[in-house]
Chains A and B, each alone.
Chain A
Amino acid sequence: MSEATPAPPTPRGRLAPVRVRRKQLNPLEALERGFALFRSTFARDAWRYYAGAAPLVFCFIPMWVVNGQIRLSDSTLWMESALLTGAYVLRVWAVASYMQRVRERAFGVPRQRLPGVSAQVAAMGRLLAWKITLSAAVLATLATIASGSWLYCACQFASLEAREDVAERHSFGGCIAMANQWFGGGLLLFVMLFPLWIAVWVNGFSLAIILPQLLHSIFGVNSLLSTRMGIDALLEGSAFWLSLCAGAWLALDPVVKCTFVVVYQHLRSRRDGDDLRGLLASLPREQQKKAELITSTALGSRAMAALFVVLSTILAGGWQIASARAAQAPPGLSRPEPASDSARQARVQKMRQALSEEAQRAIYRWHDAEHPSPPTWFDKRLSKVGDAINRAWNTLRRFLRKMWPRGLHLSPGNEKPGNEKPGAWQLRDLRFWLTLIAILTVAAGAVLYRLRHRRETVQLSIPLAIEPLPDLSDNAVASERSEEEWFTLADRLQREGELRLALRAAYLGLLAGLAQREWLAIRRDRTNREYLEEFTRRWLRRPQAAAEARAEIPEKLRGSLRQFDRVWYGSYRLTPEAVVAYRQDQREFLNHV
């Protein structure tokens, strides 16, 4: 008789896709629900988050600025550290309270009030130890993304679990295990959060740069930031970047917390088996929707049938009426139902009513979609990617578990009875580990060899980058190096035996020094005579020239240039001593001008 029941097949047929869709909470859906939860709880609970997070930010940034300007003693630094640590404790406590309040308001899970001061202090110690350890682990593994997101999820769950002291004892490992259940979703959510953080960051950056300019151009407000130098100083200050990152973090973090409240409720629900009950409880609603759909369809078809009957009546007359009565007779014969069927229907109705009431409980609220629209292609794609990541993660875990030598089991009682002795090494384990160690050794050796080879290449490339000489035949290159660089080059060339080039470098150093002092301007088309004329003209125009009347300086320059011309363009032979003397003469000359 139960096989002939019409109701169960329909929901059973719909159960499979529903279960597949709700097997894991979609990260996009979680984020959407997190936004909705943040919005709905903002007025009452958001102040807890900001009151907890703001002191840390508003203490840290001024300290950062002041410490960069003033040299402080160690005792002052310790006091600052204590203040910031206190602000951190306040933040951890306030954020955990915020998450618990939001959970209570959204899902009706009452907060646990810990009896006694010792229980509260222990809960606080637990919270701090878990949060700090997990935060450090997140920072240490952030570069790997996957491990970072996993530990980040665990860190968020720790805010909810560490302060509870219930019969079901929460643990540090429990938070990690719970994050493990949502590994794929957590990773996708972590990756999805980056564009959001970047968007808020870029908005803040644009505002900081554009707003002073707008105030200056519209209202004529002059500030340091409306000048080019002010903007440059702002961009070079680390406090600006720090404030920008802190602002972006503060803007989005409460939403992230609300998202993790939803995820935590989802995972707890799955862990407690409520997920299955939630699915079961959703069946009456699905059935009700289907019944409404069938009713509306049946009403439409009945209206069409009635219209057809009226038309037939008009056309065919009384004979059709008789045949219609005859046709209505058989259903009338089957109307009486057995008593057992009516009892069964009553039981089914009663069960549906009970399930419907059960589904109204607050714990199932995350099941009830506030946005009942069907999943989009993006949702489906995300679900697929999340499932794939979960499968890969589980495969990796199984692989690592297989790799773990049985002799190193922490709980040897888990071994299969009769197969192997617990705590005993096996030869295949030993072979496997030896192979693994050999592979890792070879890989490490290859990496080290590559690094060493690269370092040698770099070391070789540095001198090659310095060695090439400039084109000394062109006077204009004098402006490409400083006076000191030219004289250093002259010294090097003289030691290498390139005496003519050394003299040329010293001459270019003289020109560069005079150009740096603005006694002449170096140009490719000028001769030494023109340089001398320009120098003499400027030298005689200086204010103290009339009183001093020192004409020996231009004469000295004339002698230097002539000496160079004789060597470079003539056939005078040079000695190292002559080059050293020429170089020193030019340096002394530059010291007098």
Chain B
Amino acid sequence: MGRVRQVLAGLTALAAVMALIFALLRWRVNTPEEHLNFGHAADHQLPGQNDE
């Protein structure tokens, strides 16, 4: 009985970790603008300078 309880406790904790990781990844996917903002990098270009 004790072992079953320990296994259940472990699984519950693991499920909590998985949910936490999912929430983190979903936040990451849903907020791309915070990670893809290259405006600051582009500001350093001189007028007329083109990297293409």
Contact B9 A82 (CB under 8 A): no
Contact A78 B35 (CB under 8 A): no
- With beta carbons under 8 angstroms apart, the residue of A68, A122, A126, A236 that contacts B28 is A68
Instruction: Classify chain B: how many residues form its interface, as a range.
Output: 20 to 34
For residue A114, give the distance in angstroms from its CB to the closest CB of chain B.
11
Q: What are 20 A-B pairs with beta-carbon distances under 8 A?
A: A63-B25, A64-B28, A67-B28, A71-B32, A77-B25, A77-B26, A78-B22, A80-B25, A82-B18, A84-B18, A85-B21, A89-B14, A122-B2, A125-B7, A125-B11, A128-B9, A128-B10, A129-B6, A132-B16, A232-B40
Residue-wise interface mask of A (69-85) relative to B, using a CB-CB cutoff of 8 A (1 in contact, 0 not): 10110100110111011
B1-21 residues at the A interface, CB under 8 angstroms: 2-4, 6-14, 16-19, 21
Contact B14 A126 (CB under 8 A): no
Q: Which of B3, B8, B10, B28 has the most CB of A within 10 A?
A: B10
Contact A129 B10 (CB under 8 A): yes
For residue B11, give the distance in angstroms from its CB to the closest CB of chain A.
7
For residue A336, give the distance in angstroms from its CB to the closest CB of chain B.
69
Within 8 Å of chain B (Cβ to Cβ): is A229?
A: yes
Contact A69 B36 (CB under 8 A): yes
Contact B37 A236 (CB under 8 A): yes
Within 8 Å of chain B (Cβ to Cβ): is A133?
A: yes
Task: Give the docked Cα–Cα distance between A237 and B26 (Å).
Answer: 18
For residue A243, give the distance in angstroms from its CB to the closest CB of chain B.
14
Indicate whether A121 sits within 8 Å of B44 (C-beta atoms), given known contacts A71-B32, A132-B16, A132-B17.
no
Contact B22 A77 (CB under 8 A): yes
A110-148 residues at the B interface, CB under 8 angstroms: 118-119, 121-129, 132-133
Known: A81-B19, A82-B18, A122-B6. 9 other contacts (CB 8 A): A63-B25, A67-B29, A68-B29, A80-B21, A85-B21, A123-B6, A128-B14, A132-B16, A229-B45
Residue-wise interface mask of A (43-82) relative to B, using a CB-CB cutoff of 8 A (1 in contact, 0 not): 0000000000000000000011001110110100110111
Task: Give the docked Cα–Cα distance between A228 and B17 (Å).
Answer: 39
Contact A125 B40 (CB under 8 A): no
- With beta carbons under 8 angstroms apart, the residue of A118, A119, A125 that contacts B9 is A125
Contact A124 B25 (CB under 8 A): no
Indicate whether A229 sits within 8 Å of B41 (C-beta atoms), given known contacts A81-B21, A237-B35.
yes
Within 8 Å of chain B (Cβ to Cβ): is A249?
A: no
Within 8 Å of chain B (Cβ to Cβ): is A215?
A: no
Within 8 Å of chain B (Cβ to Cβ): is A589?
A: no
Residue-wise interface mask of A (389-426) relative to B, using a CB-CB cutoff of 8 A (1 in contact, 0 not): 00000000000000000000000000000000000000
Minimal Cβ-Cβ distance residue in B for A122: B3
Within 8 Å of chain B (Cβ to Cβ): is A233?
A: yes
Chain B contacts to A: CB under 8 angstroms: 2-4, 6-14, 16-19, 21-22, 25-26, 28-29, 32, 35-38, 40-42, 44-45, 51
Task: Give the docked Cα–Cα distance between A119 and B6 (Å).
Answer: 10
Within 8 Å of chain B (Cβ to Cβ): is A238?
A: yes
Task: Give the docked Cα–Cα distance between A363 and B43 (Å).
Answer: 64
- With beta carbons under 8 angstroms apart, the residue of A81, A129, A238 that contacts B13 is A129
Task: Give the docked Cα–Cα distance between A89 and B13 (Å).
Answer: 11
Contact A68 B26 (CB under 8 A): no
Task: Give the docked Cα–Cα distance between A265 and B19 (Å).
Answer: 36
For residue B41, give the distance in angstroms from its CB to the closest CB of chain A.
4
For residue A83, give the distance in angstroms from its CB to the closest CB of chain B.
9
Task: Give the docked Cα–Cα distance between A513 and B21 (Å).
Answer: 49
Within 8 Å of chain B (Cβ to Cβ): is A366?
A: no
Contact A88 B17 (CB under 8 A): yes
Main secondary structure of the interface of B (DSSP, over half): helix
For residue A284, give the distance in angstroms from its CB to the closest CB of chain B.
45
Task: Give the docked Cα–Cα distance between A125 and B8 (Å).
Answer: 7
Task: Give the docked Cα–Cα distance between A121 and B11 (Å).
Answer: 11
Contact A236 B18 (CB under 8 A): no
Minimal Cβ-Cβ distance residue in A for B3: A122
- Residues of B near A129 (CB, < 8 A) are 6, 9-10, 12-13
Indicate whether A126 sits within 8 Å of B29 (C-beta atoms), given known contacts A68-B35, A68-B36, A85-B21.
no
Contact A124 B10 (CB under 8 A): yes
For residue B43, give the distance in angstroms from its CB to the closest CB of chain A.
9
Task: Give the docked Cα–Cα distance between A74 and B11 (Å).
Answer: 22
Task: Give the docked Cα–Cα distance between A393 and B35 (Å).
Answer: 44
For residue A250, give the distance in angstroms from its CB to the closest CB of chain B.
19
Task: Give the docked Cα–Cα distance between A122 and B9 (Å).
Answer: 9
For residue B17, give the distance in angstroms from its CB to the closest CB of chain A.
6
For residue A218, give the distance in angstroms from its CB to the closest CB of chain B.
24
Minimal Cβ-Cβ distance residue in B for A227: B51
- Residues of A near B32 (CB, < 8 A) are 68-69, 71
Q: Which of A71, A72, A85 has the most CB of B within 10 A?
A: A85
Task: Give the docked Cα–Cα distance between A82 and B44 (Å).
Answer: 41
- Residues of B near A63 (CB, < 8 A) are 25
- With beta carbons under 8 angstroms apart, the residue of A77, A122, A229, A238 that contacts B35 is A238
- With beta carbons under 8 angstroms apart, the residue of B8, B12, B26, B28 that contacts A74 is B26
Contact B13 A132 (CB under 8 A): yes
Indicate whether A236 sits within 8 Å of B41 (C-beta atoms), given known contacts A89-B14, A125-B8.
yes
Task: Give the docked Cα–Cα distance between A80 and B22 (Å).
Answer: 8
Minimal Cβ-Cβ distance residue in B for A68: B35
- Residues of A near B45 (CB, < 8 A) are 229
Task: Give the docked Cα–Cα distance between A81 and B24 (Å).
Answer: 9
- Residues of A near B35 (CB, < 8 A) are 68, 237-238
A216-230 residues at the B interface, CB under 8 angstroms: 228-229
- Residues of A near B3 (CB, < 8 A) are 118-119, 121-122
For residue B6, give the distance in angstroms from its CB to the closest CB of chain A.
4
- Residues of B near A229 (CB, < 8 A) are 41-42, 44-45, 51
For residue A67, give the distance in angstroms from its CB to the closest CB of chain B.
5
